[in-house]
Amino acid sequence: MKAETSFLMDEPTWAQRVKSARLKLGVTQVQLAERLSMSEAGVVAWEMRESRPWSEESERFLQLEAALEDGEVS
């Protein structure tokens, strides 16, 4: 998963994926930040393409995104 994670961090669609997952969950940036154990500013920066996630943050997001796609999270 590490290779996939580093690829995703550079992917221009990372911001789109974060926002899409957040909207599917029906949560605010604050609520997504809480789910990912990070700051609201971090989520905002991801969505605005102003920063890249740390590996721990990206791993947590990828797990959340996978669970969302599998219908395990609402």
Stated as kind and residue range, the H or E segment containing 1 is: none
Domain residue limits at 41: 2-69
Let me know if residue 28 belongs to a domain.
Answer: yes
Separation CA 30–CA 13 (nearest Å) = 21
| pLDDT tens, position by position, 48-61 | 988 878 889 989 99
| pLDDT tens, position by position, 2-37 | 444 444 455 558 899 999 999 999 999 999 999 999
Let me know if residue 74 belongs to a domain.
Answer: no
> How many domains in the chain?
1
Let me know if residue 8 belongs to a domain.
Answer: yes
CATH code, domain carrying 57: 1.10.260.40
pTM of the model: 0.78
